Structure 1
């Protein structure tokens, strides 16, 4: 259940980088005025902002950026229905509801008439702080909170001015309420009645925002706008796109990353009914593949299965997980660049020591909706339908492949069935693949839209992965648990090296995404050495990025220090926080209070586990109850406390934490690892890449620390502390610390 006191998927280093490089070009684009869309007799705020200036209408204020123009974000129909366009991808996190809530709050819209839809790669839908199109880093609400409030306030001001002009009264004498403007003497007009006139009004540059004490929507638990469609099976996703004459493509990818084709025998594939073409196409990272294009998924898959292919793997590294771990251990012995460099002289004099090694495997994203992209080509233009976290990056990549200008590519952002970072790839791998297929199909005479679909096996065997990591730590401490020296080595691939983010993210040879979460919030004298080997396995951020492994290392070792000095792990953490981390303290205390930790008696065979971690500027604390049954770890109950500042939609936050906790649990279960042998991924589907089943889901309660401060991130922070809290409970039961994910108790 959700307890909320009614008051009101990118690392911090990347945030700072992108903030510095904020879109100067976007800032200099002409402002967007209100435009009337053909066929809509209302406030048609949805015209493409790049064409708005040319079409004219309304008074322009060149100080406003595209991201500040209501014309791209609000559409009011004659019947009063308000459609809010979101500048992010909705793939389960709830922004299709939360962003409209923010805008509707300031607009004073009737919430029962509010709808939502996705934006595109138009400049208006770029992140207002970073200037690029991105859904990630848990920044959707954090970065667009003020933006969407101001958009709603501007639209409301224009409606007020339109009513004032109609009634020939001062706008200051008017007020709004639930989708209507109300004036003196019983005057009243709905937003739908005023919309057409309002679009001719100047867009105000500055607007006054509501006092939070007057919020009607923000801070109130609100059902999601997409809940009914999704729960009833009527929601369409990218994979459901069906255009007239559409064909479907399935690709045979190489068994080893980067391999090329030696020979292709496609005679059996071409003989299958429904197969239209078999095309040899270039793939991601210099590889080659074969696309089978057919009039449906099943004949395309049958055609692919019938291919007889020989692969040339002689020029690529064939990774072996066991050998890779041995190589990482050797690398850990060498000197390397340092993130922190505290004096280690006290180590030898420390009365007590902990020596620990942690191993974290590759992880697949494995979203419920596999990757897909539909491409329709015409002379001098292309349309793409895809659920993407990077519509601008992917649109530009598509333009390069197709030999078009970016403005000739239209990105139709689709609802996505999960992603966890997999739909935000700097190489735009699957989008580029779809465009290569569509281009080859057109060259072969197939002038039809082509929908490329990956199977789940394709994604698990040949996608991008959370990197494998090795951590080694030696800690010197005294009898009171004070850390005197902490020497730490981290080995793992860099996610950002070779990408557009490398210049700002990799400093002194260290990728900031790999070390986020290390040391903080504890005042520890640490020397942290980092190695980033190059390995022939494509890697990518995975929900909560570096915190997927750093939180586990820090929070299990902190717990071990407390146990070794016979201190309560909660009290030990509170003492280490001091007075410098009030949000950590508040979240942990709330979780403790709501769980009954230290007060209620647990059933026999159960133990408490505790962890707290900050990621994406949000602190999440967990207190869990766990046991070991027949040698297997079992998570029974989770009490979570969240400090995300102002909670826009507590109901969404509850769902976010529940989902993140379940995904955190997925890292713990035996079988939750991607391994390689002779360069080939050994897992293929949920039969051998374990994810939690409904029987694994613990009882979970989510509580929110009340705050009126500006919102912070929420999509990812619920994941990192779950695994260490679970591990700490298991360690109490077994007397042995848990050093690996997934857990190895034997």
Structure 2
């Protein structure tokens, strides 16, 4: 008998007391959509997450974007587990826009509470935030939240559908439902009757949704925890996978854009006479700066080549806007001034840091810096829109389909229910496709196409130079030690732009208010048991637009924090692993991850020189982000002539709670190491006269295959609920490399990208 856990999702059980008021109730059910799911070919919808066909196929309604992270495979496995479906039965279909698919987890996690905080204020705030997001939230893929957000809804959907199938079989056979069992897509009765899901689907859909569902115990999982093959792998191998850039509706036209070279600028005037005379050109038009984007001229033509050729002949005059005088030097000067003058908003305080610092026998201090970064996804920005007969269809790769729909509807002046969004695979996202500027721009262009569908496609240069960048940031640290070398005080102030207020402004037209957790995440929300600590951030206003970038604030704050942690260890005369371990005595999960990474990497054992005679050293970093704990050890050498840093080996240990699919976790850790190393060794966006200086991969390079390290991933077994995986592997790699460089050369690298003098 499979043991299951009962979940009441229709209300709350109370012991002799009546709970009154909306605020006391849990978030409303996430099983029924507002409108019935569309069905075809003998399908029956059993709830908002799955349809079963007469051919015995099980179609999972997918509410999250697939951009290489394996979300579709992981979520399908969770639902199939509780449904007791056979894995080959499963199919995927992108979910319609509906409130049951809103992302609750990301916004709840965005509340600026320390992970160790288990107080009632945090609990109530999270409860009310989840309830609110269920009603007025956003369908979003981001924040490494897909599995975490849908862990229970997908299980409940599978379990409730399973119960309906069993009831249908019991009614058909005139037996008790408790006498029936389910395995691999078949319902059976002890007397010998058996029926496939497909045979029972129509009758099952007529059964009422059960008031409670019973979930499996972890020991009975057949699919969860197994290295299942990615569900979209075959289509990517045989070329049938359809990404945003592959949209090709009948009669497709193509648009090329010329955008103001200064980010945020707009068009003053243009002369399109020459372009309009060229072959294949249908129309030339001006496009406003929409949703935080940049003003542009667009050329619609028969082919991408005709459009691009004609766009190059348009003469334009620009209003370069408030960023026209901006330079990288000015950015860092302003950040440095803020670092000297500001006190910042305090995100975490323990004890009395100023007094402890004043009474310390010894103190050390250091400043760190990180640059702007572009997303540089391999699929450049694109969107295809058809506006015809007062309705629109949008084909795009997006992380926010409902916001994309709203942006298109606003530009076209129609109701949102007149816009159909067809979500396609993403050739990388990393947070860039949380924005809707490109959707609004494409809709504005399609409005002028007389009913024909138009694909707007940016060049690589436009993608790089018209991004919403990872913020530049600076941080100042100070540590105090007593006479025996024990750390007694920790002070950290960082300065930089805030992302959330900008996003609220350009997408919703709302003013940002209150602290933005993303500015200080990775600094204040860490497990270290500092006796006295103060961690703060000061928001600095700058004209270059910023956005969510893979691992967001953790991406640079981890570099700052873990590098200075090594500095503190050196000042205390302790081994970096032992020093960290001493500050984790009340955090056994973190301590286990740290020690396992050190063990697997051979920490403390001598390293032989490589074939060229170059010496090697190891560096370590530990970081918690998106609910997961990751430690990485980097094995590094430095070229004697060029001083180039080479990373040969990375040992990565992760505790992400329950491992839904070990293959996907390993792939994401390997991906994160390469992504993080690209940023650590090469990534830097610079600005001169308001214009981004980098354009393509020749001056904004990716890590090459030949330079990728051997990456060894170890997943810590856990019975805890699943946490984030897509982003947590990025933050530790830069400090691990920097700490290895110090161990090898004695030189502290406090600025990204990492370069030796």
TM-score by length of 2: 0.87
Name 1:115's counterpart in structure 2: 91
Structure 1 stretch 386-395 or stretch 734-743: which is displaced more? 386-395
Q: What per-residue deviation string (whole Å, max 9, x for no partner) do you get for residues 104-152 of structure 1?
A: 0011111022122322322232225433211111111011011101101
Structure 2 residue matching 1:626: 3-state secondary structure: strand
Q: Is the 8 A contact 1:608 1:729 kept in 2?
A: yes
Aligned counterpart, 1:338: 345
Gaps of 5+ in 2: 1-21, 105-129
Give the C-alpha shift of residue 481 in structure 1. 4.0
> 2-side partners of 1:634 and 1:622: how far apart?
16
- Specify the SS of the correspondent of 1:423: helix
Shift of 1:543: 0.5
After the TM superposition, which of the residue ranges 122-131 and 735-744 deviates more from structure 2? 122-131
Supply the distance in 2 between the matched residues of 1:645 and 1:303 (Cα, whole angstroms).
54
Deviates more, 1:314-323 or 1:170-179: 314-323
Higher relative contact order (CA closer than 8 Å, sequence separation 6+): 1
Structure 2 counterpart of 1:95: 71
TM-fit CA distance, 1:723 = 0.8
* Mapping of residues 459-478 of structure 1, within 5 Å: 459-478=463-482
Inter-partner Cα distance in structure 2 for 1:252 and 1:22 = 50
* 1:14 counterpart residue number: none
1:124 corresponds to: 100
State whether residues 31 and 157 of structure 2, in contact with CA within 8 Å, keep that contact through their aligned partners in structure 1.
no
| 1:143 pairs with one of 139, 146, 149 | 149
Partner-residue secondary structure (3-state), 1:500: helix
Partner SS, residue 501 of structure 2? coil
**Residue by residue, what CA displacement relative to the aligned partner does 1:190-237 show, whole Å, maximum 9, x if unpaired?**
111111221111111211111211110001111101112223333110
Aligned counterpart in structure 2 of residue 611 of structure 1, from 597, 610, 621: 621
Distance 1:370 1:269 in 2: 24
| Secondary structure of 1:357 counterpart | strand
> What does 1:528-607 correspond to in 2, within 5 Å?
528-579=535-586, 581-599=587-605, 601-603=607-609, 605-607=615-617
Most deviating of 378-387 and 480-489: 480-489
- The aligned counterpart of 1:85 is 61
2:312 corresponds to 1:312:
no
Aligned to 1:685: 696
Q: Which residue of 1 aligns with 2:82?
A: 106
Question: Match of 2:167?
Answer: 161
Q: Is the 8 A contact 1:248 1:452 kept in 2?
A: yes
State the Cα distance separating 1:709 from its structure 2 match: 1.4
1:159 deviates by 1.0
- Within the candidate set 636, 651, 655, 2:667 is matched to 655
SS at match of 1:364: coil
Match in the other structure for 1:365: 375
Contact 1:318 1:680 in 2 (8 A): no
1:636 to 613, 638, 648: 648
Question: Is residue 483 from structure 1 mapped to residue 487 from structure 2 by the alignment?
Answer: yes
RMSD: 2.5
Q: Aligned pair 1:238/2:244, yes or no?
A: yes
Alignment of 1:252-267 (within 5 A): 252-267=258-273
Contact 2:464 2:696 in 1 (8 A): yes
Deviation at 1:503, TM superposition (A): 12
TM-score w.r.t. structure 1 length? Answer: 0.88
The CA distance in 1 between the partners of 2:280 and 2:141, in whole Å, is 37
Alignment match, 1:41: 42
Aligned 8 A contact 1:93 1:715 in 2: yes
- Distance in 2 (CA, whole Å) between partners of 1:467 and 1:495 is 8
SS in 1 for 2:680: coil
Post-superposition shift, 1:619? 0.4
Distance 2:48 2:29 in 1: 17
Matching residue of 1:429: 437
- Would the alpha carbon gap of residues 491 and 156 (structure 1) be closer, same or farther in structure 2, given more than 3 Å must change? same
Query: Following TM superposition, by how much is the alpha carbon of 1:348 offset from its aligned partner in structure 2, in angstroms?
Result: 4.6
- What is the alpha-carbon distance in structure 2 between the residues aligned to residue 237 and residue 560 of structure 1? 46
Give the SS at the match of 2:354: coil
411, 424, 428: which is aligned to 1:418? Answer: 428
What's the CA shift for 1:438? 1.6
Equivalent residue runs for 1:5-404 within 5 Å: 27=28, 31-32=32-33, 39-42=40-43, 44-45=44-45, 70-127=46-103, 129=130, 130-131=133-134, 132-284=138-290, 285=292, 287-313=294-320, 316-339=323-346, 340=348, 342-404=352-414
Alignment equivalent of 1:698, drawn from 709, 712, 716:
709
In 1, the alpha carbon distance for the partners of 2:631 and 2:345 equals 29
Q: Find the counterpart in structure 2 of residue 57 from structure 1.
A: none
Cα separation, 1, equivalents of 2:618 and 2:632? 10
Aligned to 2:456: 452
C-alpha distance in 2 between matches for 1:314 and 1:374: 28
Contact conserved, 2:353 with 2:491, CA < 8 A, in 1?
Answer: no
Find the aligned partners of 2:509 and 2:544 in 1 and give their Cα distance. 22
Which residue number corresponds to residue 51 of structure 1? none
SS of the aligned residue for 1:612 comes to strand
Q: How far 1:37 sits from its partner (Å)?
A: 5.2
Aligned CA distance change for structure 1 residues 30 and 659 (closer, same or farther; 3 Å): closer
